[in-house]
Chain A
Amino acid sequence: MKTKIQELRKKHKISQEELALAVGVTRQTITSLENEKYTASLVLAYKVAKYFNLTIEDIFDFSEVEEF
């Protein structure tokens, strides 16, 4: 899933390690999120959105999610 995490991180000048510590995950998880290899859970998505003071939809791109 595409995200704007890397863009937001660079805009706020924070490292992956700092963001990981702030939302309670490892740095590798942040890397995987930015590389679109891993999809965050609802709780993690909420924490990341809260950290940047944005909504989940502002950060995570749901346009490619299949509709049934």
Chain B
Amino acid sequence: MEVFKKSVSKRLTALLSLGVISCLIIVFTALYVGSAKLGKNDFISGFQTGIFIALMGSILFKIKELRSALKNNDSLKTLYIKENDEREKLIRQQIACNSFNIIMIAIALATVISGFYNILVFSTLCITLGFIVLVKASLKVYYYKKY
């Protein structure tokens, strides 16, 4: 449990650092990048700011969870069980595997359809699809060798 406590403390520190960086990015994108000087679209600027605000929100939630876990041994044990429960791990694994495949198929379909309308969108989706396939192939080789 001591090892787990140390890893939780490290994660808390990492999250706090990430939170600070997200805050700085939010301020930077809202004040400077979104300005007309750079010819940036208001919608895109707002979208980027929104993403970092949502990220900030989830970071704050996670920080609260980890801090309350570090307060006493019972909460720490509850967090340990929640994160290491084999059924939860299996569910997370199944979600990751299936969602990866569904997203890959969806992007492939979008690539084909976009080819009829816009070459830029088609190229972007093509490159994205290539990257996803490369990641999947690399991970497959890695895990086959590992196990």
Contact = CB atoms under 8 A, between A and B. Distances in A.
Contacts, number: 27
A47 B81 CA distance: 14
A65 interface: no
Interface stretch (B5-13, B85-93, B138-146): B85-93
Contacts of B90: 38
A48 to B, nearest CB: 12
B64 interface: no
Interface in B71-88: 77, 81-82, 84-88
A65 B117 CA distance: 54
Interface in A18-39: 20-21, 24-26, 28-29, 32, 38
Name the prevailing secondary structure of the B interface residues.
helix
A41 B86 contact: yes
Chain A contact patch, size range? 10 to 19
A24 B81 contact: yes
Contacts of B85: 25-26, 28-29
Contacts of B82: 26
A54 interface: no
A41 B82 CA distance: 17
A35 B69 CA distance: 30
A58 to B, nearest CB: 21
Contacts of B88: 26, 29
Interface of A: 20-21, 24-26, 28-29, 32, 38, 40-41, 43-44
Given A21-B77, A29-B86, A38-B87, 4 more contacts: A21-B81, A26-B81, A26-B82, A28-B87
20 contacts: A20-B81, A24-B81, A24-B84, A25-B81, A25-B85, A25-B86, A25-B87, A26-B82, A26-B85, A26-B87, A28-B85, A28-B87, A29-B85, A29-B87, A29-B88, A38-B90, A40-B86, A41-B86, A43-B86, A44-B86
